Structure 1
Amino acid sequence: MTNQVALITGASSGMGKAAAIRFHQAGYTVYAGARRLDRMADLAAQGIHTLKLDVTLPASNQAFVQAALDHEGRIDVLINDAGYGSMGAIEDVAPAEARRQFDVNVFGAANLIQLVLPTMRRQHAGKIVNNSSIGGQLYSSLGGWYYASKHALEALSDSLRLEVKDFSIDVMIIEPGGTATNWQQTAVDHMLAATPKDSAYRKMVETYALGTWHFKATGDDIAQLMLKAVTARHPKTRYQLTLMDTLAVVAARKLSYKMFDRGMRLATRLGAHSNHNQERSAESQQN
């Protein structure tokens, strides 16, 4: 693969950084964007173009896309990886934080799509990959704003796929489950700090925080999945990495809402119970 240009957002860490490396190794000319340039110094050392990018600012998005066009004259791939999860009860999450969740996870991605589409239409070719989550097809307590943003991103992607098919542009959705990063712990820490001590949901938040989730999937695993989607001759509309991720999506689609509700509540309690038992076991060994 040569002479193909890939734009990747959220490239300062995790899946975005891994994708920048994977696509560079595959022969793509990669433009990697993130708010922190210093965290992409290792990418620049490998020959990857790194640019400061805040996806919530239209001018920043325009400069990012224009830089690639000025130097390369084409854009073949856009990977919208920039995103984050803001956890907490819907009642407790401040309106400004809820809006920011959508600004980053939905409107930022949508703006970049709008900016690359004229070029892709002229080329009569292009690939757009939106990094969502299995949460884009399911839900749980304390993740309402995050899941809402991912559901919105997936609906946007589905409509877009129909609109641009006649221009030979493919739109794919990546749906990671849990990955072995600090995302989960960071989200939990933020949720605890943002939930008032006297909140009606404080006990629920603390129970959730006790949960233990062990994930084997890495950012590089997801990056390889992105590359697989982009290079597929007949790409699927959605990609999940593991069988468990696929089963979670199938359960959300096939079970009744009441059955799925019970399953999600049970999973949270079991996670907390498992973590409590592990802590007691560790204490016994120390004693």
Structure 2
Amino acid sequence: MSKVAIITGAASGFGLGLSKELASRGWVVFATDRDSAAVEATKSFGAIPRRADVTIPSDLSAVVQEAIADYGSVDLMVANAGYGNFSSVEETTAEEVRRIFEVNFFGVENSIRSVLPQMRKQRSGRIIITTSVVAHVTLVGLGWYSATKQALKAVANALRQETKWLGIDVCTVEPGTSKTGFGSVAFELLDSGRAVGDYDRVMTGLNKWLGGLYRISPGPDKVVKKMLKAATSPRPRAHYPASWDVRAFKIAFYLLPKSWLDAVVLWLAKR
């Protein structure tokens, strides 16, 4: 019998890539996204497209119930939907802060809650959460976005321990810089969200060096391969750093004195 996966944010980027990979391996893939027109295209490779907004619990519950009714189980939930917001802490409005938490954090909460009752019942299942290198590293302009990903890392660590004995695996995949639609959204918000001139020095520098890093970064394929490994390994690891920059940033963040790290970041911002 085919395994059943539900993937959020499946109309583009990592979610789209993983949907293709799993479908090609015979999985039943419910590809979900709030963009109903874009996700409809996943039919072309055999996925089952469904419009679902992760901020609306009933949308996710409907997909889960359909999967159970038609196939009898849910073997994998990939909580992947999210977006970036590159902005200084003060320049990010209260409404924008709430919105990014609503999608990036509470959207994952809704995804987890939608599948746990069934996975507990069947005593099996796997949950993959897309975090980021910034689940470990907080840099200028990434404060609120990093906060959502660090909160997810904390939840994933606890949930992994709580559900292991129930036959449910929990792991995270940590992308670094990758050329997907994520970058264009994040940089557009950076450009449109400037309001306080006192931050020009660091925010202009962020736009320059981080934008340069995105321009030379690879596409989503490496991250998708890590996600596939997390989905199919008999004994998945807790965390899957997806590229060299994730490992490098993690080493720098955990080993360097914070005064040194701050100096490097501010030096990059001045370049």
Common topology (TM > 0.5): yes
Consecutive unaligned residues of structure 2, counting only runs of 5 or more, are: none
2:228 and 2:145 map into 1 onto residues whose CA distance is 25
**What amino acid is the match of 2:242?**
L
**What amino acid is the match of 1:65?**
V
Structure-1 residue corresponding to 2:78: 79
Structure-1 residue corresponding to 2:27: 28
1:58 and 1:186 map into 2 onto residues whose CA distance is 24
Measured against aligned partners, the alpha-carbon deviations of 1:68-110 in whole angstroms (never above 9, x if no partner) come to 1221120000001100011211111111110111111111111
Structure-2 residue corresponding to 1:220: 221
Measured against aligned partners, the alpha-carbon deviations of 1:104-129 in whole angstroms (never above 9, x if no partner) come to 11111111111201111121111110
The correspondence of residues 193-208 of structure 1 with structure 2, limited to 5 A, is: 193-196=192-195, 198-208=196-206
Consecutive unaligned residues of structure 1, counting only runs of 5 or more, are: 274-287
Moved more, 126-135 or 110-119: 110-119
**What amino acid is the match of 1:200?**
D
- For residue 128 of structure 1, give the secondary structure of its aligned residue in structure 2: strand
Identity of aligned residues (%): 30
Measured against aligned partners, the alpha-carbon deviations of 1:40-89 in whole angstroms (never above 9, x if no partner) come to 23211222100001101112122122221221120000001100011211
Q: Per-residue deviation at 1:183?
A: 2.6
**8 Å Cα contact 1:192/1:205 also seen in 2:** no
**8 Å Cα contact 1:178/1:215 also seen in 2:** no
Q: Per-residue deviation at 1:182?
A: 4.1
Structure-2 residue corresponding to 1:176: 175
Q: State the superposition RMSD in angstroms.
A: 1.5
- For residue 127 of structure 2, give the secondary structure of its aligned residue in structure 1: strand
- For residue 172 of structure 1, give the secondary structure of its aligned residue in structure 2: strand
2:113 and 2:188 map into 1 onto residues whose CA distance is 35
Structure-2 residue corresponding to 1:285: none
**What amino acid is the match of 2:155?**
L
**What amino acid is the match of 1:76?**
D
Relative to structure 1, the CA distance from residue 215 to residue 75 in structure 2 (aligned partners, 3 Å threshold; closer, same or farther) is farther
Structure-1 residue corresponding to 2:262: 261
Relative to structure 1, the CA distance from residue 115 to residue 253 in structure 2 (aligned partners, 3 Å threshold; closer, same or farther) is same
**What amino acid is the match of 2:183?**
Q
Q: Per-residue deviation at 1:244?
A: 2.9
2:173 and 2:251 map into 1 onto residues whose CA distance is 15
2:2 and 2:99 map into 1 onto residues whose CA distance is 36
Structure-1 residue corresponding to 2:208: 210
- For residue 198 of structure 2, give the secondary structure of its aligned residue in structure 1: coil
